[in-house]
Amino acid sequence: MTDKQPWERARLIPVSGITGPDEQERRGVSALLAVINSVREFGRAITAPLGAPAGIPMAYIEVPFTSGEKKLRPDGSSR
């Protein structure tokens, strides 16, 4: 990550506002990921079928990556 901003951790009660559909999606994803982190059995039920190793997952929302000059996010959008 080239930006100096830290990645935003998933939270059960997100701190972002609800200004439109993008923010609603972000809040929903953040809450789901926070539950996957907090409820070990639920997180394992989600990750085990994907072949992930057992352990405590760490989840962040909208982690930015760069590809050349382009900034990308895993959800497919670019800035």
Residues 6+ apart with CB under 8 A from 3: 64
What residues does 65 pair with on adjacent strands? 72
For the stretch 1-48, pLDDT in tens is: 445 557 778 888 866 667 777 778 788 888 888 898 889 899 899 899
Torsion on CA atoms 9, 14, 20, 25, rounded to nearest 10: 60
Domain ranges of the chain: 8-72
For residue 19, the model assigns a pLDDT of 77
The band of 58, judged by pLDDT with boundaries at 50, 70 and 90, is confident
Based on DSSP, count helices (H) and strands (E) in the chain, helices before strands. Answer: 2, 4
| Structure tokens, 36 | 């996957």
With beta carbons less than 8 A apart as the criterion, state whether 38 and 45 touch: no
Report whether pLDDT(69) > 80: yes
Q: Which residue has the higher pLDDT, 5 or 52?
A: 52
Residue 70 is classified by DSSP as E
- Please give the model's pTM, rounded to 2 decimal places: 0.65
